Amino acid sequence: MNPPQKIRRSAFARLLFTSLCLLQTGFAEEGFDPVFTEWRSRVDPAVENGLSYLSRIQKEDGSFPENYGDSTGVPALVGMAFLSKGHMPTEGPYVATINKCVDFILANQKENGLFEKGGAGSGPMYAHNIATLFLSEVSGMVEPGRQEKIGKALPKALQLILRAQSVKKDPNSTGGWRYHPNSNDSDTSCSGWALMALRSAKLNGAAVPDEAILAAVAYLKRHQDPKTGSFGYTGTSDNARTLTGMGLLCLELSGQHGKPEPALAAEFVMKTFRELVGGQFEFYGNYYNAQGTFQIGGRYWNEYATWMYETYLKKQTEDGSWQSNEAGRIYGTAMMVLAFTVPYRQLPIYQRDETVSEDEEKK
């Protein structure tokens, strides 16, 4: 990464920490987010208990026990969970935890740029995309030695994502990603993480071509049902209940706010989100629904957040974890923390578009 980028992100990291201090001294109590203000007294301790659990259970090498804990994806999700609450890799109680997540990912990059280690489900690109997103988000917040390593690792990781996107594919799959770098098909779940990694890196000053972002957005739009607003896995309705939040978030983060497609997706989410409970990909769907409805704002976030906090605060176990059906406690806890902490606005990738008018926010 070039020097101007380092300076920009270091300055942002300081601003981030200042913002957290303001938040902790009551800045958020001034009614900026009525739902969060109402629930904060219960959300704060629940999040901190979850983070304490994740820190306690982390292995010395930075990986985690249980499902996919030795892949690069789970430490990346955990690392982002700590950042999402404003915890820093240079000061505070979780310095070692966050840095071990960083170091584990950096230690497991292949020559071709792929972050691969341990069991990664159907293929390594899923974990790679999440790991790339995390390193992009934490870049500029770490001490100089780690920053130098991240600066060498990220360009190779991004180039791998771009190469995987450019593999010749059928028209329905063009612009997306699948589980392997050379896959000639795509799915929206893997593609969502890849798009967020590219967008985060671009915001961070990396040379990500606009064409790559546009192609990914076009790919996602081809997988949205124009009538119902749902997004599917390889079609427009398969696994729609858990994937439409992903489509909503990616569109909102890619300059589509105010357009018909995200509004349709938000309406579908509001009709179906209560069906998540007990489903196979419950925590995945909740994470994306929370992020997506927060981005579009207004009544969507107010209704969803109220339901989410009412439903999932009571599901936290005594040790601070949440048990997910899809991938166990580590994944479940990280994803729930990431969903709960949306109002903190600490991760740069998830900053809400503040051009949204006050009237629109109150709808």
Q: Is 339 exposed, middle or buried (0-12, 13-18, 19+ CB in 10 A)?
A: buried
* Strand partners of residue 109: 115
pTM of the model: 0.90
Average pLDDT across the chain, whole number: 89
The predicted model gives 287-308 an average pLDDT of 97
The reported pLDDT for the residue numbered 25 is: 34
The residue ranking higher by pLDDT, 348 or 283, is 283
What is the structure's pLDDT at 3?
34
The CATH class for the domain spanning 3-361 reads mainly alpha
pLDDT attached to residue 67: 84
Helices (H) then strands (E): counts for the chain: 14, 0
Query: What mean pLDDT do residues 108-114 have?
Result: 97
Q: Measuring CA to CA, how many Å separate 108 from each of 9, 112, 114, 336?
A: 24, 11, 8, 26
Percent of the chain predicted with pLDDT > 70:
87
How far is it, in rounded angstroms, from Cα 124 to Cα 3?
Answer: 31
**Model confidence pLDDT, tens digit, residues 229-270:** 999 999 999 999 999 999 999 999 999 999 999 999 999 999
Residue 328 β-bridge partners: 324
pLDDT in the model for residue 19: 45
pLDDT-based confidence at 23, cuts 50/70/90? very low
Torsion of CA 217, 345, 332, 323, to 10 degrees: -140
Give pLDDT tens digits for 32-75.
Answer: 588 889 999 999 999 999 999 999 999 999 999 988 899 999 99
